[in-house]
Structure 1
């Protein structure tokens, strides 16, 4: 059971309690309070004579509060409904937080980065079922996208969009070509991966028609794709050889890759991301407990 479904169930349960309280239980408490106060007021003269006016008024106030107080189970359910509903709406339609669990997007995103994902950039989708109900835009080459892993939709993955529907993507000898146009590369100083305690070759890559971003390559890793799934949908659109892979992206699908090119399981291995699996566009690092300097937008 994923978190979105858990949150939805909590919204339903607390919402039912909140509505029931407003329509039924609150009226019952008010009626009970009126009867109790009417009985108290009928004996007010006697009580004031025995305890004094101030004590009688305090007793009346405590009686009213006791009769109007929600039972504990209703207080904890109905009172949390507005908060849970606000979180559910915000998380489902505006932004959703994620934590980066792996190094597949190094150097752009590091393990431990907390990011925010725009949930409406690629269209409004119903929560839980993830069905698009309103088009707002489509993923573009170079976007950092969160999606449900096609082989196990209970898992959320994050990769960079390399090919959009209709593109011919070639990854050969660790270089990309999109629709016959090679990506541009500029060498940067080697990157130290502190998790692996190893240096990787660092490049600035610019996809055709897209912004530039950093990528890593390991000199000791081969260019060919080992261990690709032989049965992913539209597998016939891809051709593998010793230099790498060439794929034509089918309609309604996307070709994605990690920026840590030799340490990322992505579309080269398990195929294309269907549109219905898209979660949203990552746009900011909002926290990294080990490095506050990473807080802010990323490229």
Structure 2
């Protein structure tokens, strides 16, 4: 079962607010007068007391997570070496505009993603074109299962209107190759599954210059072929209100090369800080060197 935490918070806020508000409007005065007349100490009924106590707490959490910053945990290695498995990050929720919690409708435009931004978004799923001309989305390549309610994290490579070509780890944007310099081999811990795959395929680390952003990527050309761009799911010209996104672990990232562009309305925010990093019991524990790292 999948849980939408924002929807749960919104539902609890409405529930507690309605219970507390209706009680104060219609029941509180009569109940208080009855207890005062009987000489008894006034107390709210337990459901009302819980609603009154929890409503402001849940409301504050909802507002902070929806409009200020939201925590996320990195579950996979698709953004290595920038983001490691077990990193806990903060996401700026107002970088690209304020959106209604749970519904994700933009109510105030404050900016758009820039090339090189690391963004969190609701995964749109694969796009499938049916024989009858309809377009559907699904959680796998043939769209035979529903799109799961998941937040993903990738780096913005292509902006609306850009002409993009991708061949393996080589990227050409509007006719200009994205420059990158090799730093050296990836070094890691064989006991960690995320590191082991990079080590097994002889991954190398590169410094990539993506517009104004300089960041690290991993390349594993021997791992498996990745889809070129353009392809059936991702056209050469990035559509309006859409973004081409890719992981920094270039051969180990299911991204726009596989399922298409990321719609603007699916944006959740911009990743900006690692506030905690847990490498696992026996494989590093807390990685204090990563705590407080600004995400580029």
Question: Contact 2:91/2:269 (CA < 8 Å) preserved in 1?
Answer: yes
Instruction: Find the partner of 1:276 among 257, 262, 265.
Output: 265
**Mapping 1:86-235, distance limit 5 Å:** 86-151=60-125, 152=147, 154-194=149-189, 195-197=194-196, 198=199, 199-207=202-210, 209-225=211-227, 230=232, 232=233, 235=234
SS at match of 1:202: strand
Structure 1 residue 137: Cα displacement? 0.3
Q: Match for residue 43 of structure 2? A: 69
**TM-score with structure 1 length normalisation?**
0.81
Structure 1 residue 259: Cα displacement? 0.1
SS at match of 1:206: strand
Structure 1 residue 157: Cα displacement? 0.5
Q: Match for residue 293 of structure 1? A: 289
Q: Match for residue 251 of structure 1? A: 240
Q: Deviations over 1:180-228 (max 9, x none)?
A: 1111111112123543421411000001x321000000141355528x9
Q: Which moved more, 1:185-194 or 1:104-113?
A: 185-194
Could you list the runs of 5+ residues in structure 1 that have no partner in the other structure?
A: 38-62, 238-246
More helix by share: 1
| Alpha-carbon distance in 1 for matches of 2:242, 2:287 | 35
Q: Considering only aligned residues, what root-mean-square deviation do their CA atoms show, in Å?
A: 1.9
Sort the Cα spacing of 1:83 and 1:281 in 2 relative to 1 into closer, same or farther, 3 A: same
Structure 1 residue 78: Cα displacement? 2.4
| Alpha-carbon distance in 2 for matches of 1:193, 1:179 | 35
**TM-score with structure 2 length normalisation?**
0.81
Sort the Cα spacing of 1:173 and 1:266 in 2 relative to 1 into closer, same or farther, 3 A: closer
Q: Match for residue 135 of structure 2? A: none
For the pair shown, the structure with the greater C-alpha radius of gyration is 1
SS at match of 1:80: helix
Count the aligned residue pairs.
Answer: 256
Q: Deviations over 1:123-173 (max 9, x none)?
A: 111111111121100000000000111112611100000000001111124
**Mapping 1:19-30, distance limit 5 Å:** 19-30=21-32
SS at match of 1:261: coil
Q: Match for residue 136 of structure 2? A: none
Q: Match for residue 33 of structure 1? A: 35
Q: Which moved more, 1:194-203 or 1:149-158?
A: 194-203
| Alpha-carbon distance in 1 for matches of 2:38, 2:218 | 75
Could you list the runs of 5+ residues in structure 2 that have no partner in the other structure?
A: 126-146, 279-285
Sort the Cα spacing of 1:283 and 1:141 in 2 relative to 1 into closer, same or farther, 3 A: same
